[in-house]
Amino acid sequence: MEKEPIIALDFPTWQETEPFLQPFENESLFVKVGMELYLQNGPSIVENLKKMNHRIFLDLKLHDIPNTVQQAMKGLAGLGVDMINVHAAGGQKMMAAAREGLEQGTSGQRPILLAVTQLTSTSEEQMQTEQLIPVSLEESVLHYAKLTKAAGCDGVVCSVHEAAKISEVCGTEFLKVTPGIRMKEDDANDQKRVADPQLARTLGSSMIVVGRSITKAEQPLVAYQKVKQLWGGM
């Protein structure tokens, strides 16, 4: 289990990100850069965070034809990020191509490769009516997890509520990275399948991703330390 909760840096620019990170200067963080920050600022964001010695999860959720994803991953591997992802809905071949691209583009340690199963903002009803997937949400997530493993990825992004079942099917070493984390007193916002850090630990998440519960808190450092404590079982 990864000790540090991953902070989702969902900010539009470095100008907003830098002051947010200021109170954390004595912490070694694991941060997530998503499409909001990366697509508006580019690779300089990763360089800035690496200079601060933070570990980086580049959450771009790639989903395209295998060759395009492979070439994109080859380039992104050169940034030296620690973890990166694709959408499992892109299929086994696309996921295997993503891994190959990462291997081709990495000189040292290959970044951890994850695949998103179903977004934690997706409800079962929405999945069935909009994606026309006629099974339960859990079945869909488990199916994607098995496909992800078969493609040679290191784990999945899923909700806390599916983590235990995924461990049963894919093994405990297979990573379950879980967003949709809320403190009991927080608003769920657009997330549907939420859980608090304690429950995430109990149900077998490998890493938790926390955004607004920290970034929108009045005192983000205090909120971070509280999440870290609950997650670590202290």
DSSP state of 206: S
Query: What is the number of H-type helices and E-type strands within the chain?
Result: 11, 8
Rounded-to-integer distance, Cα 78 and Cα 203, Å: 35
Could you say which of 3, 51, 61, 228 is catalytic?
61
- 147 annotated binding-site participant: no
CB of 201 to ligand C5P, least distance (A): 17
Q: Is 59 annotated for ligand binding?
A: yes
**Is residue 157 a contact point for ligand C5P (CB under 6 A)?**
yes
CB distance 45 to 38 below 8 Å = yes
Residue 128 neighbours by CB under 8 Å, 6+ apart: 134
Q: Which stretch, 40-48, 50-58, 94-102, 203-211, contacts ligand C5P (CB under 6 A)?
A: 203-211
Task: Determine which residue in the list 41, 191, 205, 206 makes contact with ligand C5P, applying CB under 6 A.
Answer: 191
Is 10 among the annotated ligand-binding positions? Answer: yes
* C-beta closer to ligand C5P: residue 26 or 85: 85
Is 186 annotated in a binding site? The answer is: no
Query: Please, what is the minimum distance in Å from the beta carbon of residue 123 to ligand C5P?
Result: 13
Q: What angle do CA 114, 118, 123 make, to 5 degrees?
A: 155
